[in-house]
Amino acid sequence: MPTDNAPDSCAPRGHEEKRLSIIEAAADVFVREGYSGANIDLIAAQAGVSRQTIYNHHGDKETLFMAVVRELAERSNASYFNTISTFPDHPGDLQADLAAFAVRLNRNCICNRDGTFLRKLVQAEGERYPQLFEGWRDQGPARSWIALAARFARLAHGGHLELDDPDLAARQFVALINADLNMSMMLGAVPGDDALQASAGNAVRTFLRAFGKR
């Protein structure tokens, strides 16, 4: 091994490290170039691995793609449930605590690499692999919405909010905290911390005008 010709990541060592590195590079390339445009040689180079190794690990392009989606979906789900578990059930300052939660939700689940990647893949290839993506939705967003709605219901029950429909409130909360970010994220920009804070503040202010204890 005279020179390491891996351009991006230095050639990973173990068996599992290679598997991960392949998934990572493949996610990158699938998102950047689309399924058809994704080039196995490019993935191999970016993973610091030979093409044959990819075929050894994953069989073929379609299987690799599904492995990528599954991996991203798993991580994304984990992030969601982790973050939702930090919901302010006993808030001191409701505005501030909800805003901080909104920042966490945006930063860890919606604006991060896995979140944006997964959303792009769903948009681009969702109709070609319906069961794969419906499975993701049912395991992920659907369940995390229920979890979030339960937290809002508890907040209302504790006298901090006035809600008719906790599910609707959860959906609208998520919609509001992205209102300021959607357009810039469409073109691939990653919002900075100040943008996240501002967006969360605006969203929670409006949310509490609508649902705060009068």
Footprint of its own copies on this chain (CB under 8 A)? 32-37, 119-120, 122-124, 126-127, 130, 133-134, 137, 141, 168, 171-172, 174-176, 178-180, 182-183, 186-188, 202-203, 206-207, 209-211
Q: Binding string to DNA for residues 4 to 23, with x set by CB under 7 A, is what? A: -x-----x-xxx--x-----
Write b or e for each residue in 3-39: b if 16 or more Cβ atoms lie within 10 A of its Cβ, otherwise e.
eeebeeeeebeeeeebbebbbbbbbbbbbeeeeeebe
Instruction: Please report whether residue 124 would count as binding DNA according to CB under 7 A.
Output: no
Stretch that binds DNA, among 50-58, 119-127, 172-180, 196-204 (CB under 7 A): 50-58
Determine which residue in the list 51, 113, 143, 171 makes contact with DNA, applying CB under 7 A.
51
Interaction partner, residue 211 (its own copies, DNA, none; CB < 5-8 Å by kind): its own copies
Residues in contact with DNA by the rule CB under 7 A: 1, 5, 11, 13-15, 18, 38-41, 48-53, 55-57, 60-62
